[in-house]
Amino acid sequence: MLVSVLSFFLGVLFCQQWAALPSILSIILSLAFAILMAHFKYWRIAFFLIGLVYAFISAHDVLSNRLAFELQGKELLIQGEIIGLPEYNAQRVRFDFKVTDTSVPLPDKLRLSWYYPKQEVTAGQSWQFFVKLKQPHGTFNPGGFDYEKWLFIRQIGATGYIRRVGEASLLDTKTFWSSISVLRQRLGDILSGQDISSTSLALIKALSIGDKSQISVQQWQVLSKSGTNHLMAISGLHIGLVAGMVYWLVFKCWLRLPSNRHSAPQIAASVAFMAVLFYAALAGFSIPTQRALIMLAILMLSIVIRRHVKTIAENPGNGA
């Protein structure tokens, strides 16, 4: 199984080295060859090709959901909903926008900027406004931030800004219980209303709801020089700490209850996973968070079903 997973991973990795994606016919032929290899039990080659085809299909799906070239620079009237937390600075607010209604084919997800908005822009709001869009594009310097890659990962098909600001119309605002983004926004507003210094508030928001937009350049420089900037990205470390604390607390409390129907490890594992699932949702389900959540889910599931887990380094001949 380990070799099969590694073969699948190498297939995905091999796809990343291509300068351009192959045609649909090439993908179909690769899939057919993978099935043929599986039939003759050449599993390593089969899983390698399956990983390659999976990466090709995923990339085609994202790239097909991009702004058409002829629509660049045109003013378009759209309706949709703000998803995620808007990022404010002195001149503008940037946010991800899910398109729900438009007169021309557009990508499902946009990255928009609104310069000097006259009213507060928050998650969960539905708007109608004119926008001017362009295809995802970013400068790529060695060692620098690859903005176009970042847009690709977030499956954003176009970027742009709001036009005719006076004609923008707020259609609806979701309640905090109807969307996790609205809940994150609400918690962020509650934190902003507390008597906390701006530097501490920025770190608290980054670690609690995954909002790093308020961390200043000076703070990033200090974090970078001290080698702790990675702590601001909620990932396996944070997920593991929350899971461990909740597991220990529930385990200790359950042992003091007069119940023998379920064991303490099973209950603790179930509650700990639900707690980290909620924490991951508050963090915005970033890629590192999803990765850690999947690994933790496998571990907690093994505890719930009482499955003995063997490590890679464990010797099968020692009777363990």
Helix axes 264-282, 180-192, angle to 10 degrees: 80
pLDDT at 249: 95
Question: Is residue 52 in some structural domain?
Answer: yes
Please indicate, yes or no, if residue 292 is contained in any of the structural domains: yes
* 133 within 8 A of 157, measured Cβ to Cβ: no
Same domain, 227 and 241: no
Residue 157 covered by a domain: yes
Cβ of 318: how many Cβ atoms within 10 Å?
6
The answer to whether position 320 is within a domain reads: no
Q: Choose among 183, 136, 132, 181: nearest CA to 158.
A: 136
DSSP character string of 122-164: -TTEEEEEEEEEE-------TTS--HHHHHHHTT--EEEEEES
Q: 148 is in which domain, residue-wise? A: 69-175
Q: Is residue 187 part of a domain?
A: no
Task: Return d(Cα 166, Cα 101) in angstroms, integer.
Answer: 20
**Cβ contacts of 292 within 8 Å, gap of 6 or more:** 235, 236, 239, 240, 280
Total number of domains in the chain: 4
Task: Examine the domain organization and report whether 46 and 74 are in the same domain.
Answer: no
Q: 232, 260, 281 — which closes off a domain?
A: 232
Residues 73 and 146 grouped into a single domain: yes
Same domain, 119 and 208: no
Note whether 226 and 243 are same-domain residues.
no
Q: Is residue 310 part of a domain?
A: no
- 3-state class (DSSP) for residue 100: strand
What digits encode the pLDDT tens for the residues 132-155? Answer: 999 988 776 777 778 888 888 888
- Report, as an integer, the average pLDDT of 8-15: 91
Rounded to the nearest 5°, which phi and psi values hold at 160?
180, -165
Instruction: Note whether residue 150 is domain-resident.
Output: yes
Same domain, 78 and 147: yes
The distance in angstroms from the start CA to the end CA of the chain is 19
265-284 pLDDT, tens per residue?
889 999 999 999 999 988 88
Answer yes or no: do 154 and 102 share one domain.
yes
Q: Which helix (H) or strand (E) holds 218?
A: helix 217-225
Instruction: Check: pTM over 0.95? Answer yes or no.
Output: no
State the average pLDDT over residues 280-296.
87
Kindly state whether residue 90 falls inside one of the protein's structural domains. yes
Report how far residue 210's alpha carbon sits from residue 282's, in angstroms, rounded to the nearest whole number.
7
Phi, psi of 267 (to 5 degrees): -65, -45
Is the model's pLDDT at 189 over the cut of 80? Answer: yes
| Of the residues 47, 64, 81, the one at which a domain ends | 64
d(CA 50, CA 4): 10
Same domain membership, residue 268 and residue 246: yes
Check whether residue 75 and residue 56 sit in a common domain: no
